[in-house]
Amino acid sequence: MLDSAQVKGALRKAAAAIIGFGLAMVLLTALLLTGFYLLVQAAVLSLTPWLGEAGAMGLIGAVCVLLLALFFQRLTRPKPSKTSHKSDKTADDKSASGINVLRDLIRENPWEAVLMAFAVGVAEHGDPRLRSLLLQGGTILMRRAESGEPDEDGPDSASAPEDQVPPGEEPAP
């Protein structure tokens, strides 16, 4: 059987390990951010004789924004399929668009999608257009589920037909 001293010792060691890991992450993050700051300052100082201080700051700022845009573009881009060939590249690009990836994600995680929809609904409850769009899409899906119709039209079948007018809006002449 374990003594209370052994349990306390193990808890102290676990707490020390967790605190040490947290402090190491904070220290490494601070060092990384300080390194980036010093790198930007060095670049500004090195370009100041040629462009002036404002020009150097503007150029370095633009480079940083471009790097961030590149990073987020690479982060949000769909992953290429490993089994695709050059001839299938156009078909895979169309099927791997951001909207289709999002639809697949919703199909794979329906409860999480419901939770996100609820959160968006709570956050955007003041927008009547968004509310009417959500209600219209929900009623279409509920009608389809009640009638037992399979989804034959593909992922775009849940969108409203063009001749229907969303609730709360008047038809255009």
pLDDT digits (tens, 9 = 90+) for 94-107: 456 667 776 777 78
* Confidence at residue 30, expressed as pLDDT on a 0 to 100 scale: 95
Percent of the chain with pLDDT over 70: 55
Q: Among 50-59, 114-123, 156-165, name the one with the lowest average pLDDT.
A: 156-165
Rounded to two decimals, the pTM is: 0.40
* Confidence at residue 160, expressed as pLDDT on a 0 to 100 scale: 47
- 161 against 96, higher pLDDT: 96
* Confidence at residue 137, expressed as pLDDT on a 0 to 100 scale: 66
Helix axis angle, 110-123 to 98-108, nearest 10°:
110
**71-90 core/surface letters (b: 16 or more CB in 10 A; e: else):** eeeeeeeeeeeeeeeeeeee
Token duo for residue 74:
């690479």
* Confidence at residue 89, expressed as pLDDT on a 0 to 100 scale: 47
Secondary structure (DSSP) of 99-157: HHHHHHHHHH-HHHHHHHHHHHHHHTTT-HHHHHHHHHHHHHHHHHHHHT----S-GGG
